[in-house]
Amino acid sequence: MGYSLLNYLSLITIGISGLSVLAGLFFIKKGKREIHRFFMINASIFALLFVLLYVLKSILYPPQSYTGPYRGLFLFILWTHTILAIVNFPLAIITLRYAFKNMFEKHRKIAPITAFVWLYVAVTGWLIYFFMQWLNKNV
């Protein structure tokens, strides 16, 4: 599997994951719990697929450095993305666990935080790709 294909598949999976979170939020606000559940499970599956693709890309290809303009902005986005991606993993597991265990009071408290972090990570992932592919001098 080539580097470009892995990049595109990564973008697609994290994009679907982020859109699924948005759909899940929309449907829970409408009181459609089962549809919400479907989209949140879908978001989790696509996030897991993204992680697997990311690990595969990291194993198969050397890391690339960013040498384009706006380096300070790029590094800020990259650092916050990385830190929040690490934070989001246990947050997502805890949030899903509360839902599956019918601990909805706890689920309702943590879910908005998890959703915000999840969406931030998804959007900044796309931004990092944009920086690396379109603004980077090494490409």
Burial of 7 (0-12, 13-18, 19+ CB in 10 A): middle
Burial of 99 (0-12, 13-18, 19+ CB in 10 A): buried
pLDDT higher than threshold 90 for residue 74 = yes
Q: Evaluate whether the domain defined by 3-135 bears CATH number 1.20.120.80.
A: yes
Render pLDDT for 19-45 as a digit per residue (tens, 0 to 9): 999 999 999 999 999 999 999 999 999
Render pLDDT for 78-98 as a digit per residue (tens, 0 to 9): 999 999 999 999 999 999 999
Measure Cα distances from 50 to 3, 7, 37, 39, 56 in Å.
14, 10, 20, 16, 10
What kind and span of H or E run contains 97? helix 71-100
The pLDDT of residue 120: 98
User: From CA 70, how far away is CA 53, in angstroms rounded?
Assistant: 27
Domain ranges of the chain: 3-135
What is the C-alpha radius of gyration for the chain, rounded to an integer number of angstroms? 16
* Confidence at 68, pLDDT banded by 50, 70, 90: confident
- What is the rounded average pLDDT for all residues in the chain? 95
Torsions phi, psi for 9 (to 5 deg): -65, -40
